[in-house]
Structure 1
Amino acid sequence: MPRIVCAVGLLTVLTVATVARGQAIVDNIETGFVSMFNGEDLTGWSGQPGAWHVEDGAITGESTPEKPCVASHYLYWTGGEPANFIMRCQIKLSGGNSGIQFRSEKRPNFDTFGYQADFDMDNQWSGCLFQHLRGAVVTRGTMATVLPDGTRQEEQFASMQSLVPFIKPNTFNDYEIEAVGSRVTLRLNGQLMCEVNDMDSERACRKGVIALQMHQGDPMKVQFKNLRIKLLTEESGPDTNE
């Protein structure tokens, strides 16, 4: 019996140590990040009255046949207008299209203008970088350079279709936006989706608001949770331990 007790005790110690190491790894990965959402209410966010709520710890926007969304609108984060940062969150979509605006301008009626990390139910645009007027700045599976005069150089590292299996339907997906200087990188569930070095002298976005999209059209539901951000400087760039 004493041997069994000792064995159980040792197993308990090893289990606790393993969990502690795992937590330390998580803490190290998240070093420098701050929460953008308290998980309980919309404190720190501003949007169309009555259009957004918190459900099961997630910021939620929903349209129904009885309450349609007739014009796309956005929920603004009120924590600043960052230029260089890494933002991480989880997104879940049921129907339609949504996305995360960043380096964007506020427009009347809770509209925006700027970059969007796109996400849609059919995965035509998920993992693509969108911008008003330009449409797709860079598509999924592509690394691009946009020169000051707007001309483009592109290299495809994967087909759009080959990256679809990395996107999980009907559940939360980890979305990461990394914006440093002229370079923007999007990842879904840890997989690189696209990257652009956008030096367009007229249309590149360098700083602005972050906002969550509620898209007009057919009934849909979008949820965001675990939103956090790490501010960077253009000179330092991202931490090599990220």
Structure 2
Amino acid sequence: MKKYTQIAFLAAFSTLAFACGSGEQSDTETESIAEVVQDQDDEDGFVQIFDGTTLNGWDGDPTYWRVEDGSIVGEITEETKLDRNHFIIWQGGQPGDFEFKAEFKITEAGNSGVNYRSEMVEDLPFALRGYQADIDGKNNYTGQNYEERKRTTLAYIGQKTKINPQETEGDLRSNIERNAWLGLEVVEELGDREEMKKVVNSNDWNEIHIVAKGNRLQHYINGTLMSDVTDEDPANRSMKGYLGMQVHVGPPMQVEYRNIFLKEL
């Protein structure tokens, strides 16, 4: 990602300059290093979509969302409990094929997630409908694929699935059982679910990485592939849409997101 690439190249240049015994750096040398850094950034392709200090480019209810210590913070208190889920929504476009990376930290009672390829819900401000990389403080769901306000669970932790179409007759709920889509077909186990949960740091920082390409959706936590969905349901799948982070109905909680990057493919 961009900032780490710059640090690595600048550190390498400083070491080289010291080894050569040069006390000063010429303008030509400075320009050459800048070109190398820019080229590497272009290859990396990730763009920072949160500036670390303001909510410029994001839209959410300030009752629940703020910036603090370089993070977007979502918080529910006893005085601000929700009657429905709320999102802070990125205003920079509706990505289709992309990679998303961010760091998150959530309290034990927390429930959150990153929605993508989602649509706005009519007449409900700050509500999204679509795919979600789930996150929760008790680590029962972190990394699974849950479709908010649509087909519900598309893959649990540790599952590679194919999503088959069902006869909906205009009612998705008729094809949902135990909060999972009946068209969910497990094609491979990615690992032992309980062991995979151990890669998540409780009440500490973690990295989430989403890869959405075509109809394949992969969720990684701290470098581990937690769920892998191939959506073969053209009537209900989405190929592009809004991106946002959630605070969920429930007890008081806090979730933080920082170092938020997007690479469109």
TM-score range, shorter chain: 0.7 to 0.9
1:90 to 2:122 alignment: no
Extract unaligned runs of 5+ from structure 2: 1-13, 20-32, 167-182
**1:110 aligned residue (102, 121, 126):** 126
Partner Cα distance (2:193, 2:46) in 1 = 30
Aligned partners of 2:86 and 2:195: how far apart in 1?
A: 31
Q: Measured at CA, do residues 127 and 29 of structure 1 come closer, stay the same or move farther in structure 2, by a change above 3 Å?
A: farther
**Normalised TM-score (structure 1):** 0.82
Partner residue, 2:137: 121
Residues 113 and 134 in structure 2, CA contact (< 8 A), matched pair in contact too: yes
Question: Which residue is 1:215 aligned to?
Answer: 248
CA 1:198–1:41 in 2, change beyond 3 Å: closer, same or farther?
Answer: same
> Which residue in 2 is equivalent to 1:31?
44
Describe how 1:105-184 pairs up with structure 2 within 5 A: 105-107=119-121, 108-131=124-147, 132-149=149-166, 150=183, 152-184=185-217
Matches of 2:163 and 2:234, distance apart in 1: 9
Q: Could you say if the C-alpha distance between residues 115 and 143 of structure 1 is closer, same or farther in structure 2, counting changes exceeding 3 Å? A: same
- Closer/same/farther in 2, CA of residues 31 and 40 from structure 1, 3 Å limit: same
Q: Secondary structure at the match of 2:73?
A: strand
Paired residue type of 1:209: Y
Equivalent runs, 1:186-197 vs 2, <5 Å? 186-197=219-230
Aligned to 1:47: 60
Structure 2: which amino acid aligns with 1:56?
D
| Two-structure CA RMSD over aligned residues (Å) | 2.3
Shift in Å at residue 147 of structure 1?
Answer: 3.2
Aligned residues: 215
Relative to 1, partners in 2 of residues 1:13 and 1:51: Cα closer, same or farther, differing over 3 Å?
closer
Q: Larger deviation: 117-126 or 30-39?
A: 30-39
> Matched residues in 2 for 1:201 and 1:112: separation?
20
Distance 1:67 1:16 in 2: 56
Q: Deviation digits for residues 123-178 of structure 1, max 9, x if unmatched?
A: 11111000133221011111111234546242112122110110001111100000
Summarize deviations over 1:186-238 as a string: whole Å, max 9, x none.
00001111101111122212110001101111000011001010001xxxxxx
**8 Å contact from structure 2 (residues 129, 150) kept in 1:** no
TM-score by length of 2: 0.75
Structure 2 CA distance for partners of 1:52 and 1:84, relative to 1, 3 Å: same
Deviation string, structure 1 residues 94-128 (Cα, Å, up to 9, x no partner):
12210000000011221110000000011111110
Shift in CA distance, 226/151, structure 1 to aligned 2, threshold 3 Å: closer
Deviation at 1:40, TM superposition (A): 0.3
